[in-house]
């Protein structure tokens, strides 16, 4: 008996059985094999490098962009034109809103009435009037201190004043130094 116990103790331990995953049922939740894409060279013919170049070029071509519809604070132009003035005033920035809440003076009111009724350009000195949705599409000639500048009103201008689009100053274009502009240039000989 001693021999059998000695042989049992020297024998290698038997590994435990490993649980193998059971295959899922064919109908319910079976993972389908992913479909392999053909290589770029196989799709387009030629070398793989040329195929990659063609696909990159195709992606980079500018496609016709659909023009985005204009919205002002979440409202389209049609909605803005249907709104009463009190609701439009609530959407304007603070300075414009405060100006309309206080009320327009007689000159400003006459300008607004002339603009709504006229078909052609309307001339005005009233640079401080803020643009409303009903002004869009009209042309206004705004005085800049020297002449009347023609301004076509677009939807993006709503809430801005007319004077912002008729600049009163020109950009300065500086030339080179003249004689006498600096102390050192006094002594430069004229050629």
What residue spans of the chain are helical by DSSP H?
A: 2-10, 40-44, 48-60, 77-82, 85-91, 94-102, 106-117
* C-alpha distances in Å from residue 158, one per residue of 5, 70, 108, 184: 100, 11, 17, 53
CATH of domain 71-165: 3.30.860.10
The span from the CA of 159 to the CA of 114, in Å, is 19
Q: How confident is the model at residue 30 (pLDDT cuts 50, 70, 90)?
A: low
Regarding predicted confidence, which is higher, 153 or 37?
A: 153
Statement: residue 5 has pLDDT above 60: no
Among 4-13, 66-75, 100-109, 133-142, where is mean pLDDT lowest? 4-13
Q: Does the structure show a pLDDT above 80 at 150?
A: yes
Which percentage of the chain shows pLDDT scores above 90? 51
Number of Cβ within a 10 Å radius of residue 3: 7
Q: What pLDDT does residue 40 have? A: 53
Query: Is the pLDDT score of 18 beyond 70?
Result: no
Per the model's pLDDT, the better-predicted residue between 180 and 155 turns out to be 155
Mean pLDDT of the 24-48 span: 62
Provide the pLDDT for residue 174: 79
* pLDDT greater than 60 at residue 68: yes
| pLDDT, greater one: 35 or 85 | 85
Helices (H) and strands (E) in the chain, counts: 7, 5
Gyration radius (Cα) of the chain, Å: 40
Res 9 pLDDT > 60: no
How far apart CA 86 and CA 96 sit, in angstroms, is 13
Q: What is the mean pLDDT of residues 4-27?
A: 57
Residues 6+ apart with CB under 8 A from 8: none
Band (163; pLDDT cuts 50, 70, 90) = very high
Whole-angstrom Cα distance, residue 131 to residue 139? 12
Beta sheet of 148-152, edge-to-edge order: 122-124, 139-143, 148-152
pTM of the model: 0.58
Burial of 88 (0-12, 13-18, 19+ CB in 10 A): buried
Higher pLDDT: 56 or 26? It is 56
Question: CB of 78 within 8 A of CB of 71?
Answer: no
Of the candidates 161, 167, 162, 190, the one whose C-alpha atom is nearest the C-alpha of residue 178 is 190
Query: Does position 164 have pLDDT exceeding 80, yes or no?
Result: yes
């Amino acid at each position: 008996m001693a021999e059998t116990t000695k042989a049992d103790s020297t024998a290698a331990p038997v590994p435990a059985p490993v649980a193998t995953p059971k295959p899922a049922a064919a109908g319910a939740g079976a993972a389908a094999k992913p479909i392999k894409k053909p290589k770029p060279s196989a799709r387009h013919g030629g070398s793989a490098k040329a195929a990659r170049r063609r696909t990159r070029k195709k992606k980079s071509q500018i496609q016709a962009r659909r023009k985005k519809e204009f919205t002002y604070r979440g409202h389209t132009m049609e909605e803005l034109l249907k709104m009463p003035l009190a609701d439009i005033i609530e959407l304007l920035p603070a300075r414009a809103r405060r100006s309309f809440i206080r009320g327009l003076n007689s000159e400003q009111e006459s300008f607004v009435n002339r603009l709504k009724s006229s078909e052609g350009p309307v001339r005005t000195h009233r640079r401080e009037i803020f643009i409303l949705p009903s002004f869009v599409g009209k042309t206004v000639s705004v005085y800049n201190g020297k002449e009347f500048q023609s301004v076509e009103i677009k939807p993006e201008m709503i809430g801005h004043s007319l004077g912002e689009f008729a600049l009163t100053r020109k950009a300065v274009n500086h030339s080179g130094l003249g004689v006498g502009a600096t102390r050192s240039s006094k002594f430069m000989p004229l050629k």
